[in-house]
Amino acid sequence: MSESSDDAETTDEIMRATYRALFQHGYSATTISKIADEFDKSKSLIYYHYEDKEELLGAFLEYLLDQLESDLAASDGEDPKSHLLEVVDLLLPSELEDERFTFLRALLELRAQAPYHESYREQFERSDELVVSLLVDAIEWGIEEDVFRAVNSREVAEFVYSTAYGAIERGVTVDDPSVLHENRGYIESYLEATLFKYS
């Protein structure tokens, strides 16, 4: 195995250890030591790659965003409606496992730190724009295919994304996954009333 492959594998292992630490401890209680506890290799190897917790978590956000981009790129529904709903499902899954809900709490804590850490802010800005752009593309595809009404695609995309994010924030804050599920239904009703020509 080449050195670059070794580095890529080590990075992947560090990212998985970071995920587990955030899932178990949340943002504020996660330290390099807690991440090292989840990492099968030496703690010094983490410090070899990352100077401190903030640098590591900035890289972790980038890693998550790269995965999100891959997932979204794979969501190629056969028609505009199914494609749009696949993107919505990545934001607010119809079935939300306890582990993912708990991890969303850690991500929300990270987002709250974005005003104070430029690397976090850059990744969240990139993530937000990526999701909104994908929603816009899906909506414009449906308009071109004459299955969606002619609307301002950016406005609809921003509304859907803001509603989904607000649902995540509310649900996580009050520790109630049903808030996400209910708002997923509201988003689908909104899209049906606003966009879909043919139900």
The number of folded domains in the chain is: 2
Handedness of CA 24, 10, 131, 88 (dihedral sign): negative
pLDDT digits (tens, 9 = 90+) for 64-123: 878 877 776 666 668 899 889 988 988 888 777 777 787 888 888 888 889 998 888 998
Quick one: 105 and 162 in the same domain?
A: yes
> Where in the sequence is the domain holding 25, given as residue range(s)?
1-50
The pLDDT tens digits of the residues spanning 153-163 come to 999 999 999 99
State the average pLDDT over residues 177-183. Answer: 91
Q: What's the one-letter identity of residue 51?
A: E
Nearest 10 degrees: Cα torsion 136, 96, 185, 159: -30
Q: Are residues 18 and 90 in the same domain?
A: no
Query: For the CA atoms of 135, 157, 105, 126, what is the dihedral angle to 10 degrees?
Result: 70
pLDDT per residue as tens digits for the range 44-63: 889 888 988 889 998 998 88
